Amino acid sequence: MTAPKKLFIKTYGCQMNVYDSERMVEALGEQGYVETKTAEDADMILLNTCHIREKAAEKVYSELGRLKPLKALNPNLKIGVAGCVAQAEGEEIMRRQPAVDLVVGPQSYHRLPQMEAKTREGSKALDTDFPEEDKFEHLKSRPKAKRAPAAFLTVQEGCDKFCAFCVVPYTRGAEVSRPAAQLLDEARNLVGRGVRELTLLGQNVNAYHGGMTLAALIRELAKIDGLERIRYTTSHPNDMGDDLIAAHGEIEKLMPYLHLPVQSGSDHILKRMNRSHTAESYLRLIEKIRAARPDIVMSGDFIVGFPEESDADFEATMELVRQVRYGYAYSFKYSTRPGTPAAERAQVDPAVADARLQRLQGLIFEQQQEIQQGMVGRELSVLVEKPGRNPGQMVGKSEYLHAVHIDEANAAIGDIARVGIVGAQRNSLTAREI
Ligand code: 5AD
Ligand code: SF4
C-alpha cells in the first residue's frame, strides 16, 4: 500500500467556505488524501479564498508567494486556489503566480478529483464553470467519521439581489436551493456522527425554496432526534417571511440569535445600494421578530464610506444602531470591487471613512458589552465544544452564541450543560454548572 497523500487546506472568508473546505477534504479523501495541519509536509495545498473585500483578495497572492518555495523542497507538491478569488480571477491567478497548478471555482468542487489527477500528470487544471449538474449530489460522500458537535450545512447558495457593492452574485452565481430531502438526509448523517447543532448556510438563506420554505425546513429538521439546536445565516430583510418569524416563537430548537444585515441606516444610501428596503421597514421588521421572540439577540453587518455617503447619511446609521441594540455587529469600510455598479461612483475620502468606522465600531462595542454584561446572573444552556485553557475547564456556546467558559466542568464534549453565568469578559462569559 502506498502512503496516503497529504492535503493542507487553508480557509478564508465566510462560513460557507468552511463548509466547502470540509466537502473538498472528503472528495479528495476518496483520492487517497488525508488532511494535514501544516503546509510543509503537504502534497497538495489548497487555498479556499474570499473576494468580498480587496484586502481579502490580496492576502491570497501574498500567501501564494510564501508557499512557492515549498515546491523546491517537495517536487510532488501541487498548489491550488479554490473559492471566490478563483471564480473571479480564473486564469489570471496562474499568470500572476505560475506556481499555481489548479484553479477551481465554488460551483466545480465536485470535479476536484479529476482536476487533481490532471495536475499529477503535469498539466494545469482550471475550472470556473457554472455547471448544470448538482454539485452537492456529486459531493454526497457518506463518511462515518465522528464530527464536532456544531456543524454547518449549506442549504442555499448564490444571490440574485445584486447589492451595488457586492461580488457574491458574480462569484457564487445565481440563487440555487438544495432539495429539502437531500438536506434532511445529510442532517441525519451528521447527527449520527455526533452533531448536536446545525447552522444552515446560504448567502441568502431565508430565500430558501428547495420544495419548501426555510421555516418549513427548520420545522422538519427540528423533528430529528439528537439534533438539539438550529441556526441559520445570512438573511436578507426582504425575505424574512411571517412563517419564519413565527418559527422563532414556536420552535424550541431554533436558537434566539439572528444575523440580519442592514448595511446602512440612510434611506438614500440604501437606495443607492439597491437594497430595496428602508431603515424604517427594517426597524419594524425587528419589532415583529422581537414580538415573536423577545429575548432574541440581533446581529448585523454595516458598510461605512459607501460612495456618496454624507455625514448625515452616516449619522442615520448611528441612529439605527442605537435603536436596534445589537448583540453583535460587523462593520466594514467600503471596498471597491471591480465589476460592481458602485465601483464607478464618486468615492468617499478614505480618512473620513476611517473616522466613521471607528465611531460606529465604538458604539457597536458598547452595545455588545452591555448585552454580554446582561447575561451575568442568568441561567443558560451551553453546547460544550472543547476543553478550555485551564485544567477542568470546558468551552462552548450559549443559545445566544456567546462563547462560555465553564470552570470545574462535569459536562463532556457534545453535552448541553445548564449553567449559571458568573462573569463577562470582552469576548466571552464564565459560568458554573448548575
Ligand atoms: N466593501 C465592504 N464591505 C462589503 N461587504 C460586502 N461587500 C463589501 C464591499 N464591497 C460586507 C457586507 C456584507 C458582509 C459579508 O461584507 O456588510 O454583509
Ligand atoms: Fe467571501 Fe462572499 Fe465568497 Fe464567502 S461567498 S468567500 S464572503 S466572497
How far are the Cα atoms of 151, 224, 243, 431, 432 from residue 227, in angstroms, in the given order? 11, 6, 21, 24, 24
Ligand 1 atom having least distance to the Cα of 167: 7
| Same domain, residue pair 347 and 223 | yes
Quick one: pLDDT at residue 136? 84
Q: Please state, in angstroms and rounded to a whole number, the distance separating the CA atoms of residues 29 and 54.
A: 32
- Of the three residues 107, 127, 147, the one that is the final residue of a domain is 127
Q: Which runs of consecutive H residues, i.e. helices, occur in 238-379?
A: 242-250, 267-272, 279-292, 311-324, 350-373
Q: Which runs of consecutive H residues, i.e. helices, occur in 303-375?
A: 311-324, 350-373
| Same domain, residue pair 329 and 395 | no
Query: Which stretch of DSSP H or E encloses residue 209?
Result: none
As given in the structure block, the three cell numbers for residue 138 are: 456529486
pLDDT average, residue stretch 36-47: 97
In CATH, what number is assigned to the domain containing residue 105?
Answer: 3.40.50.12160
Pocket test for ligand 2, best of 163, 172, 330 (most atoms within 8 A of CB): 172
Q: Is 337 in the pocket of ligand 1 (CB under 6 A)?
A: yes
- For residues 203 and 166, the answer to whether their CB atoms sit within 8 Å is no
pLDDT tens for 337-362 read 999 999 999 999 999 999 999 999 99
Grid coordinates 439597491 are at which residue? 274
- Of the three residues 373, 395, 417, the one that is the final residue of a domain is 373
Residue 367: pLDDT above 60? yes
| Same domain, residue pair 60 and 119 | yes
CB crowding 11-25: b at 16 or more within 10 Å, else e: bbbbebbbbbbbbbb
| Same domain, residue pair 29 and 159 | no
Q: Please state, in angstroms and rounded to a whole number, the distance separating the CA atoms of residues 373 and 312.
A: 31
Quick one: pLDDT at residue 3? 81
Quick one: pLDDT at residue 328? 97
The residue nearest atom 5 of ligand 2, judged by CA position, is: 168
Quick one: pLDDT at residue 68? 97
pLDDT average, residue stretch 165-179: 95
Q: Is 136 helix (H, G, I), strand (E, B) or coil?
A: helix
Quick one: pLDDT at residue 140? 64
Q: How many CA atoms lie within 13 A of 285 on its CB side?
A: 23
Q: Please state, in angstroms and rounded to a whole number, the distance separating the CA atoms of residues 426 and 124.
A: 47
What is the band of 232 on the pLDDT scale with cuts at 50, 70, 90? very high
Beta pairing class for 197-201 and 78-82: unpaired
Query: Which stretch of DSSP H or E encloses residue 59?
Result: helix 54-67
Q: Please state, in angstroms and rounded to a whole number, the distance separating the CA atoms of residues 213 and 152.
A: 19
Ligand 2 atom having least distance to the Cα of 48: 6
| Same domain, residue pair 315 and 176 | yes
Grid coordinates 455625514 are at which residue? 311
Nearest to 339 by CA among 175, 173, 167: 167
The residue nearest atom 7 of ligand 2, judged by CA position, is: 14
Q: Is 303 in the pocket of ligand 1 (CB under 6 A)?
A: yes
| Same domain, residue pair 163 and 276 | yes
| Same domain, residue pair 360 and 384 | no
Residue 2: pLDDT above 90? no
Phi, psi (5° rounding) for residue 29? -60, -35
| Same domain, residue pair 401 and 327 | no
Q: Residue 273: what residue type?
A: M
Any idea what the Cα angle at residue 256 is, between residues 251 and 261, rounded to 5°?
Answer: 120
Residues in binding site: 14, 50, 84, 159, 163, 166
The larger pLDDT score, comparing residue 163 to residue 142, is at 163
Nearest to 312 by CA among 367, 265, 360: 265
Quick one: pLDDT at residue 139? 77
| Same domain, residue pair 59 and 202 | no
Q: Please state, in angstroms and rounded to a whole number, the distance separating the CA atoms of residues 230 and 380.
A: 16
What is the band of 322 on the pLDDT scale with cuts at 50, 70, 90? very high
Q: How many domains does the chain have?
A: 3
What is the residue-averaged pLDDT of the chain?
96
In CATH, what number is assigned to the domain containing residue 194?
Answer: 3.80.30.20
- Of the three residues 373, 391, 408, the one that is the final residue of a domain is 373
Q: Above pLDDT 70, what percent of the chain?
A: 99
| Same domain, residue pair 89 and 175 | no
Q: How far is the CA of 84 from the centre of ligand 2 (A)?
A: 6
As given in the structure block, the three cell numbers for residue 332 are: 466594514
Residue 215: pLDDT above 70? yes
Full domain range(s) for residue 112: 5-127
| Same domain, residue pair 116 and 179 | no
pLDDT tens for 104-152 read 999 999 999 999 999 999 999 999 999 888 888 877 656 788 899 999 9
| Same domain, residue pair 176 and 190 | yes
Q: Please state, in angstroms and rounded to a whole number, the distance separating the CA atoms of residues 50 and 87.
A: 10
Residues in binding site for [4Fe-4S] cluster: 14, 50, 84, 159, 163, 166
Q: Tell me if the pTM is above 0.85.
A: yes
pLDDT average, residue stretch 67-89: 96
The residue nearest atom 9 of ligand 1, judged by CA position, is: 335
Q: Is 8 in the pocket of ligand 1 (CB under 6 A)?
A: no
Question: Is the bond into 234 cis (omega within 30 degrees of 0)?
Answer: yes
Q: How many CA atoms lie within 13 A of 404 on its CB side?
A: 33
